C-alpha cells in the first residue's frame, strides 16, 4: 500500500532525526512503540484531506457561533489541521508526545485513518507492519541515515511523497 510505504519512511525519518524519540522507541515495549507510531501519524497524515457529502443539515461549533452546513454540501476535511486542534489533543499539539491523553472516542492517530463507516480497515495492519519493520531496522548495529528523503506533494491525496531516503549499515 502506498500509504503504508510513505508512513514507514516518514516514521523512520522522525526516529533517525530525534535521538530521544528513537531511544524511547528502541527501549520501549510494543505498546510504547505503537503509541509513538500513532503520534507520528497524527502529525504526518499520509491522507491529508477527506471529502464527505452531508446527508442532513449539520451544525458545527465555531468561535463566532454555530455554523450550519446544509444537506448535500461537499465538505473537505483538512486532517492535518484537525489533528492538531488543541481542544482535542491538548497542549503543544504540534509536538510528538506519545503519552498524550485523548478524549474518549478519539483514536491515537486522531483522524489519520479517517473515521466512521469508511475508517481505514487496514489501520491495524499498517501500524503492525510499520512496527515490525522499524523494530528490526533499528536493531541493526550501526544503522544510520545517510541521506534524508526528498519531499514531493501528491495532489490526489493532498499529501506527501517521500523518495531517496538512504540508510547505511556498517
Ligand atoms: C499508514 C497507512 C494507512 C493510512 C494512513 C491509511 C489511511 C486511510 C484513510 C484516511 C482512509 C479513509 C478514506 C475515506 O474515509 O474516504 C482509508 C481507507 C481505506 N484503507 Fe487505509 N490507510 C493505510 C493503510 C491501509 C492498509 C495497509 C490497507 C489494507 C490492508 C488499507 C485499506 C483501506 C481500505 C480498503 C479503505 C477504504 C475503506 C472504505 O471506504 O470503507 N489501508 N485509509
Q: What is the pLDDT of residues 120-143, one digit of tens each?
A: 999 999 999 999 999 999 999 999
Q: How far is the CA of 144 from the centre of ligand 1 (A)?
A: 30
Q: Which of 1-5, 94-98, 164-168 has the lowest mean pLDDT?
A: 1-5
**Could you identify the atom of ligand 1 that is nearest to the CA of residue 111?**
10
- Is residue 102 predicted with pLDDT exceeding 80? yes
Average pLDDT over residues 39-53: 95
The answer, yes or no, to whether any atom of ligand 1 lies below 6 A from the CB of 3, is yes
**pTM for this entry:** 0.94
What is the C-alpha to C-alpha distance for residues 101 and 89, in angstroms, rounded to an integer? 7
**Could you identify the atom of ligand 1 that is nearest to the CA of residue 7?**
1
Q: How far is CA 87 from the centre of its chain?
A: 18
What domains can be seen in the chain, in order of their start residue?
2-48+79-168 (1.10.630.10)
| Substitution site in 3, 114, 120 for ligand 1 pocket (most atoms within 8 Å of beta carbon) | 120
The answer, yes or no, to whether any atom of ligand 1 lies below 6 A from the CB of 113, is yes
Q: How far is CA 95 from the centre of its chain?
A: 12
Q: How far is the CA of 158 from the centre of ligand 1 (A)?
A: 15
- Is residue 88 predicted with pLDDT exceeding 80? yes
What is the C-alpha to C-alpha distance for residues 60 and 57, in angstroms, rounded to an integer? 10
Provide the grid cell at 41. 501519524
Q: What pLDDT score does 159 carry? A: 84
Q: What is the pLDDT of residues 2-38, one digit of tens each?
A: 899 999 999 999 999 999 999 999 999 999 999 999 9
Q: What pLDDT score does 170 carry? A: 85
**Could you identify the atom of ligand 1 that is nearest to the CA of residue 116?**
15
Task: Name the phi and psi angles at 151, rounded to 5.
Answer: -105, 125
% of the chain exceeding 70 in pLDDT: 99
Provide the grid cell at 152. 514531493
What is the C-alpha to C-alpha distance for residues 52 and 83, in angstroms, rounded to an integer? 17
Amino acid at each position: 500500500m502506498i500509504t503504508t510505504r510513505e508512513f514507514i519512511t516518514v516514521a523512520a525519518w522522525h526516529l533517525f532525526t530525534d535521538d530521544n524519540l528513537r531511544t524511547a522507541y528502541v527501549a520501549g515495549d510494543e505498546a510504547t512503540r505503537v503509541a509513538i507510531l500513532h503520534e507520528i501519524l497524527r502529525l504526518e497524515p499520509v491522507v491529508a484531506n477527506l471529502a464527505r457529502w452531508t446527508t442532513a443539515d449539520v451544525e458545527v461549533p465555531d468561535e463566532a457561533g454555530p455554523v450550519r452546513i446544509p444537506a448535500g454540501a461537499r465538505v473537505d476535511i483538512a486532517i492535518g489541521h484537525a489533528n492538531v486542534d488543541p481542544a482535542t489533543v491538548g497542549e503543544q499539539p504540534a509536538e510528538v508526545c506519545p503519552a498524550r491523553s485523548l478524549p474518549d472516542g478519539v483514536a491515537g492517530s486522531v483522524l489519520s485513518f479517517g473515521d466512521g463507516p469508511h475508517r481505514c480497515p487496514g489501520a491495524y495492519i499498517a501500524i503492525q507492519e510499520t512496527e515490525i519493520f522499524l523494530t528490526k531496522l533499528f536493531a541493526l548495529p550501526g544503522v544510520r541515515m545517510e541521506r534524508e528523503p526528498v519531499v514531493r506533494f501528491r495532489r490526489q491525496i493532498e499529501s506527501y511523497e517521500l523518495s531517496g531516503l538512504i540508510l547505511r549499515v556498517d
